């Protein structure tokens, strides 16, 4: 089963609809719906959205959770145990419905099952501007409770404010995914505070007391400073480039 097929099947089951009922609502054949759910038929995004809307999918509660994000990253049957409980609901409707209802009330579950599942495998990561204010959000996969090996709550994207690092292929408007780092990492691109300002700089550790801060706009520049004069905030691990 494909992830998109899994999503469609999950929503259909949640709505207590049969493939035949969904097919009738969507104006397609029952075999078409079953093939989509099984992942043996590829359909476009528009058709997928139309099917999900028809069977009653409550579109994302948060604008950043798009169908594309979910369909490409979430295997609901594996990451969301409550999916299996909904399947059991078809076998033992009355008993399972009581269990599911009680559990939902306790956990405060709201919205679609796929949104709950998404939250266990994806994390909204803030995009921070030069004054460290969030200006947007991006979804990042969570692997064993971590993003790039770091606490998901400590990870953020830094919106590059200028071209001082373009010689290192980091230009104004690009997004740099950063993880916490309070000490210098040799050879890393790091977000630092220096002379009461924040900068992205490439770090070269010279010794226990000094580092070289490297930048490259029109010309390469490097300045040797005391480690104690620099505040190390985070280390860049990935760059999302702005395409002009």
Domain residue extents for the chain: 3-121, 143-240
Q: 3-121 and 143-240 share one CATH topology?
A: no
Cα separation values, 116 from 98, 123, 145, 197, Å: 20, 12, 15, 40
More confidently predicted of 88 and 172: 172
A 10 A CB-CB count for 176 gives: 23
Buried b (16+ CB within 10 A) or exposed e, 157-171: bbbbeebbbbbbebb
Do residues 125 and 147 make contact, with C-beta atoms less than 8 angstroms apart?
yes
Per residue in 93-114, pLDDT (tens digit) is 444 444 444 444 444 444 444 5
pLDDT for position 243: 62
More confidently predicted of 41 and 88: 41
pLDDT for position 80: 43
Is the pLDDT reported for residue 209 higher than 80?
yes
- Partnered with residue 223 across adjacent β-strands are 213
Give the span between the Cα atoms of 43 and 4, in whole angstroms: 9
CATH of domain 143-240: 2.10.109.10
Indicate the range of 30-44, 45-59, 171-185 predicted with least confidence: 45-59
Give the span between the Cα atoms of 153 and 125, in whole angstroms: 8
Confidence of residue 236 (pLDDT cuts 50, 70, 90): very high
Buried b (16+ CB within 10 A) or exposed e, 187-221: ebbbbbeeeeebbbbbbbbeeeebbbbbbbeeeee
What topology is assigned to 3-121 in CATH?
434 Repressor (Amino-terminal Domain) (1.10.260)
Contacts 24+ apart (CB under 8 A), 40-48: 43/4, 48/4, 48/8
Beta strands 122-128 and 156-159, pairing class: parallel
Of 193, 178, 171, 183, nearest to 243 by C-alpha is 171
């Amino acid at each position: 089963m494909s992830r998109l097929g899994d999503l469609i099947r999950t929503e259909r089951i949640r709505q207590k609809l049969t493939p035949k009922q969904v097919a009738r609502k969507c104006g397609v054949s029952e075999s078409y719906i079953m093939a989509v759910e099984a992942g043996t038929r590829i359909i476009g995004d528009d058709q997928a959205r139309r099917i999900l809307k028809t069977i009653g999918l409550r579109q994302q509660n948060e604008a950043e959770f798009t169908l594309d994000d979910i369909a490409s990253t979430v295997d609901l049957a594996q990451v969301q145990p409550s999916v299996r409980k909904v399947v059991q609901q078809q076998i033992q409707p009355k008993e399972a419905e009581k269990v599911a209802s009680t559990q939902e009330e306790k956990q405060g579950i709201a919205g679609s099952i796929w949104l709950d599942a998404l939250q266990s495998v994806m994390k909204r990561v803030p995009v921070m501007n030069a004054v460290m204010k969030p200006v947007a959000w991006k979804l990042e996969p969570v692997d064993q409770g971590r993003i790039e090996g770091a606490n998901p709550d400590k990870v953020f994207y830094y919106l590059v404010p200028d071209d001082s690092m373009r010689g290192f292929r980091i230009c104004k408007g690009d997004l740099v995914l950063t993880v916490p780092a309070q000490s210098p990492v040799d050879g890393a691109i790091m977000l630092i505070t220096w002379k009461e300002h924040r900068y992205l700089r490439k770090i070269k550790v010279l010794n226990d007391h000094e580092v070289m801060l490297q930048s490259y706009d029109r010309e390469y520049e490097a300045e040797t400073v005391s480690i104690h004069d620099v505040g190390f905030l985070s280390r860049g691990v990935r760059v999302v480039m702005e395409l002009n």
